[in-house]
A and B are shown apart, each in its own frame.
Chain A
Amino acid sequence: EAEVAQSPRYKITEKSQAVAFWCDPISGHATLYWYRQILGQGPELLVQFQDESVVDDSQLPKDRFSAERLKGVDSTLKIQPAELGDSAMYLCASSLARGSGGYNEQFFGPGTRLTVL
């Protein structure tokens, strides 16, 4: 069964360091999402891609966060510099293209748990 892959699964870093997460969506899924889940809260959307284009990044802290999906397949989320408040689970999800008819289910990866010391 196809799955969304994420790496690393766990990351510990010191504040002020740079950190990057990788996501490989299910093959053929044009839409890719990055969510952040702070402990004790529900996931919140950071950025949404349709192919290589950003559809929604209104909640992405652009002074320190960046996301790219250069070839419209896998994606990288970067934080530079990391802050203590960035400690969270970062979840990637993918779905078929928007507007392709019907509701397109989001499939979630296992997440990357980030701890900033």
Chain B
Amino acid sequence: AQKVTQAQTEISVVEKEDVTLDCVYETRDTTYYLFWYKQPPSGELVFLIRRNSFDEQNEISGRYSWNFQKSTSSFNFTITASQVVDSAVYFCALSEDFGNEKLTFGTGTRLTIIP
């Protein structure tokens, strides 16, 4: 069975601070995909990143960076120099089967950036 754990329910930081959102996953498959989605108050899910299990390279996109470590089954997300527009709920998700892209989501982390 697959499982995604986001232990941080809510985080608040002052604008311009860096913040890291944690994600730990469980899967029996050797081939899988990990994702981060952003859900602003309007409710839609905004795709941020996909990473496959064979690619452990960290990725940076602007102020966003992701740290994938298979040894600890973690896929953490860091926002550098946070902005008020980053306030949202962030979900980590796992897709286990190649060809069956059902997503298993974590419970989300509500991030509030204080101006």
Contacts and interface: CB of A to CB of B under 8 A. Distances in A.
Interface of A: 31, 33, 35, 40-45, 48, 55-56, 89, 91, 95, 98-99, 103-111, 113
Contact of B93 (A42, A95, A103, A105): A42
B52 A103 contact: yes
B107 A111 contact: no
A21 to B, nearest CB: 14
A43 B47 CA distance: 14
A76 B107 CA distance: 26
B41 to A, nearest CB: 12
A33 B102 CA distance: 8
B115 interface: no
Interface string B46-59: 01001010000000
A44 B94 CA distance: 12
Contacts of A105: 47, 50
A70 B34 CA distance: 32
Interface in B33-70: 33, 42-45, 47, 50, 52
Contacts of B42: 110
Q: Is chain B's binding surface mostly helix, strand, loop or mixed?
A: strand
B99 A98 contact: yes
Given A103-B50, A103-B52, A105-B47, A41 B101 contact: no
Point out which of B4, B102, B107 has the most chain A C-beta atoms below 10 A from its C-beta.
B102
A33 B95 CA distance: 14
Nearest to A96: B101
Given A95-B101, A103-B33, A103-B101, A40 B43 contact: no
Given A42-B93, A56-B100, 11 more contacts: A35-B103, A41-B108, A43-B45, A43-B91, A43-B105, A91-B45, A103-B101, A106-B103, A107-B47, A108-B45, A108-B47
